[in-house]
Structure 1
Amino acid sequence: MSADKRSLLINTAIDVIREQGFEKTSVSQIVGRAGVAQGTFYLYFKTKNELIPAIAREIFDIQLDRTKEAFPKEPASLDELLKKLIEITYTITEEYKDLITFIYSGMAFYHSFETWEQIYAPYYEWLMSKFVSLQDTGEIQTDTPFAYAANYTVGFIEHAAESFYLSGALSENPEQSKHECFVFLRKALQP
């Protein structure tokens, strides 16, 4: 039950923040809409600012869940893996672009960057396991240790998606942006 209330508070906060912004959002508004007592909020979060990493984790968990659902078994090829990772990341970035900039600024201001690594650790581990499987079939040929390769791959895909959806850099066409991201990563992982 407690995980349900925490999740309810996070998802309600996302809705309220999307409507009126973080600064104008109050704990009273969040708990009022969630239908819980104000003290319940403080059982899970010391301050409103603690919602920032919780929202980041919520969005990232959605991304990781979608990624795992896309691969109920091992990917057949590096191409399949990269194309699905790119598509899912672009989709999540588009869906949550209104929150991503807020999360970045909030994490930089209120939280350490080590929190990012904790949030991303399950994704890196999952991707490293896929790289190992693909290496066993000869699909990946890189001298870069997989811990680095997973980190760089995730970071590059996210940067490409954010460049497209948040700043409009480099391309006006999402398919071109996705293709260029794919080509770059494919060359990096199978030179």
Structure 2
Amino acid sequence: MDKKQKIIEATIEQFMTKGIESTKISDIVKAAGIAQGTFYLYFPSKFSVMPEIAKFAVEEIMKGIHSSVDLSQEFDDKIEQLVQAVFRITEQKKELFAVLYAGLAQSEHLKQWEAIYSPFYDWVYNFLEESVQKGEIRQNIDCARTSRILIGLIESTAEQLYLYDTPTQEEIDAQYAELILFSKSALK
């Protein structure tokens, strides 16, 4: 593992353990096993690591989607698999996402979010474009706009359930079912 990656992983660990405000660069370099000067070769501040943490989070999302969504299936199955993957990833990585959102909100790096998120936007765009071409969804959908709307809808629901609330499994299942129904209805 290279030094930059060690810094990123140590920063995630320290932010999740101590919180963003309480974490010092000395904590990060100690956890990474590097000299403090090495940190500054890669990052000018602890907040400047946030875009790299966001890239890591997007990579986790994409790994989950690639392993969960079978593109050879019918549209209804694919949309369910997509929602299920995002819910699962959000539940499994909720501490990471909470740190990420808090850190981005505290830094000037929030503006980089769109570029960092482009692999997810592109994947959903291609998924929708293929579904339009197959006649599985409405022909008049603007796939670029709809990909952002769909991602926002799915992630917002998952985040509400796993980051902000403490719902029962019954409520999670009900929200999941309603989200699937709403998404399918909106796209067909």
TM-score between the two structures when normalised by the length of structure 2? 0.89
**Residue pairs, 1:123-162, within 5 angstroms:** 123-162=120-159
Cα shift readout 1:117-173 (whole Å, capped 9, x = no counterpart): 111111111111111222222211152310011111110000000111123288753
SS in 2 for 1:140: coil
Structure 1, 144-153 or 87-96: larger mean CA deviation:
87-96
TM superposition shift of 1:70: 2.7
Pick aligned residue for 2:51 from 35, 50, 53: 53
State whether structure 2 residue 86 is matched by structure 1 residue 89: yes
Distance 2:47 2:164 in 1: 25
Whether the aligned pair in 2 keeps the contact of 1:17 and 1:25 (CA below 8 Å) is yes
Unaligned runs of at least 5 residues, structure 2: none
Pick aligned residue for 1:177 from 167, 175, 178: 175
Distance 2:45 2:37 in 1: 12
Report how many residues are paired: 187
Whether the aligned pair in 2 keeps the contact of 1:77 and 1:134 (CA below 8 Å) is no
Distance 1:78 1:11 in 2: 37
SS in 2 for 1:173: helix
Cα shift readout 1:16-52 (whole Å, capped 9, x = no counterpart): 2211111111111111111112122112211111122
Whether the aligned pair in 1 keeps the contact of 2:64 and 2:89 (CA below 8 Å) is no
State whether structure 2 residue 26 is matched by structure 1 residue 28: yes
Pick aligned residue for 2:95 from 89, 93, 98: 98
Distance 1:84 1:6 in 2: 34
Structure 1, 108-117 or 124-133: larger mean CA deviation:
108-117
SS in 2 for 1:76: coil
Partner residue, 1:40: 38
Letter of the 1:37 partner, please give it.
A
TM superposition shift of 1:96: 2.6
Partner residue, 1:62: 60
Structure 1, 24-33 or 134-143: larger mean CA deviation:
134-143
Go from structure 1 to structure 2 and tell me whether the alpha carbon gap of 1:156 and 1:75 turns closer, same or farther (over 3 Å shift). farther
Unaligned runs of at least 5 residues, structure 1: none
Over the aligned positions, Cα root-mean-square deviation in angstroms equals 2.1
SS in 1 for 2:73: coil
